[in-house]
Amino acid sequence: MTLFLISGEPSGDRLGAALMAGLKALVPGVIFAGIGGPAMQAEGLESLFPMEELSVMGLAEVLPKYFHLKRRIVQAAEAAMAANPAALITIDSPDFCLRAAALVRAARPEIATIHYVAPSVWAWRPGRAAKMARVIDHVLALLPFEPPYMTDAGMSCDFVGHPVVSEPVATAAQAAAFRQAQGIAADAPLVVALPGSRRSEIGRLLTPFGGALRLLATRHAGLRVVLPTPRHLAEEVAAATQDWPGRPVILTAPDVDTRTAAFAAADAALAASGTVSLELAAQACPMVIAYDMAPVTLWLMRRMVRVDTVTLVNLVSETRSVPEFIGRDCTPEKIAPALSGLLDQGPGAQGEAMAVTMDRLGRGGEAPGVRAARSVLAALARAGKTGSIAAD
């Protein structure tokens, strides 16, 4: 059986890698083609072109690269059809992935289409589900409340659990060892800064993050900072943060164990909005969420948003325990006091909210990558693709 996968950003790369591992366990000999990053490549994918070309978010950020991305969409769709897969599996990055799926559906409707990560129609643009149903047969959902939105639009959908629950939880010994390895005193206040994985968002957030940490350093003597960053942006991030307080430790593309140990070792985190809030919750690291974007993108988002929080821990736990500072509120003067409160008082209500979140996302159950693989195979069986599975 051949499957063509498309991922456009690091979080999708991790999802795709776990799915590939699950499929290999259930269907020995499965063949993969498509576009992915280092995690998917480690599972056997030879990427059609570098995944990083697709890691662009926001209207103002996409426009300068529009024609290049359009060519890549066509190239991805043509490669998918040439591979003659049992299914095209697109992973997150809907602006790119669903356009490629539309081209495949129009030319080769017999190829099953599966999308991993349900669109957040509960948050904004509810019409996206119906639009997606024109080109997608089946959806793999990360959040437990999402399947009804997808089935109402005409697609089948399974909640497969969030991959964050499969990541190792660092022990106290591992957290202490991380501090020691990085030259961070055991009693030093430690903040992990996470301004995102895309060049556009990192460029926009480093200034307010740095300003907030400067204010924080005046209130918390001996403050230290750890900043994980993608390998291809490491030099830029190091140059931009060389005057930050706390002698920032730049972790270039840290492995899972190092990343989780850093989160567990930190007293608090300052993070961009996104999946990282769940990664922090898995390590019980209290957090402040801050995010900004191009003015036109922010204006459009504010007009369309349907929820009063963008933080996944708040949404899954049905609390508002994690403070967030979005758009005009993403300023050092507002961020620093919230961080200072975490350093002074600990996680408080966030602790319970983080534990509830992990339980609701599937902690303690079958690995999400295996659940996703089972869901893919069940969808193919319903589509009459069991013959191709057996033949291959």
- Predicted confidence (pLDDT) per residue in 184-243, tens digit: 999 999 999 999 988 888 999 999 999 999 999 999 999 999 999 988 899 999 999 999
Give residue-wise pLDDT tens across range 63-83.
Answer: 556 677 889 999 999 999 999
185 in the same domain as 281: yes
User: Which among 222, 242, 328, 311 is positioned nearest to 270, based on CA atoms?
Assistant: 311
What pLDDT sits at residue 63?
56
Mean pLDDT for 273-299 is: 89
Examine the domain organization and report whether 152 and 29 are in the same domain: yes
Other beta carbons within 10 angstroms of residue 337's beta carbon come to 15
Q: Do 253 and 281 lie in a common domain?
A: yes
Q: Please check the confidence at residue 53 and state whether its pLDDT lies above 90.
A: no
Q: Domain check: are 384 and 342 in the same one?
A: no
Question: What is the rounded CA–CA span in Å between residue 179 and residue 187?
Answer: 10
Average pLDDT over residues 319-345: 96
* CATH number (domain holding residue 20): 3.40.50.2000
Q: Kindly state the average pLDDT of the residues 296-310.
A: 71
Strands 190-194 and 287-291: unpaired
Residues 340 and 243 in one domain: yes
State whether 148 and 174 are in the same domain: no
The predicted model scores a pTM of 0.78
Q: Do residue 87 and residue 185 come from a single domain?
A: no
Return mean pLDDT, the chain. Answer: 91
Q: Are residues 213 and 296 in the same domain?
A: yes
What does the alpha-carbon distance between residue 386 and residue 390 come to, in Å, rounded to a whole number? 6
Same-domain status, 182 and 329: yes
Which pLDDT score is estimated for 300? 65
Look at residue 274 in the predicted model and tell me its pLDDT.
Answer: 85
Tell me the mean pLDDT in the region 173-183. Answer: 98
Domain extent, residue 41, equals 2-161+364-391
Residues 83 and 198 in one domain: no
Number of folded domains that form the chain: 2
pLDDT above 60 (res 386):
no
Same domain (yes/no): 139, 67? yes
Residues 172, 315, single domain; the answer is yes
- Which pair of tokens denotes residue 298? 């922010």
Confidence bin at 15 (pLDDT 50/70/90) = very high
d(CA 100, CA 102): 5
Query: What confidence score (pLDDT) does residue 304 get?
Result: 62
State pLDDT tens for residues 136-172: 999 999 999 999 999 999 999 999 999 889 889 999 9
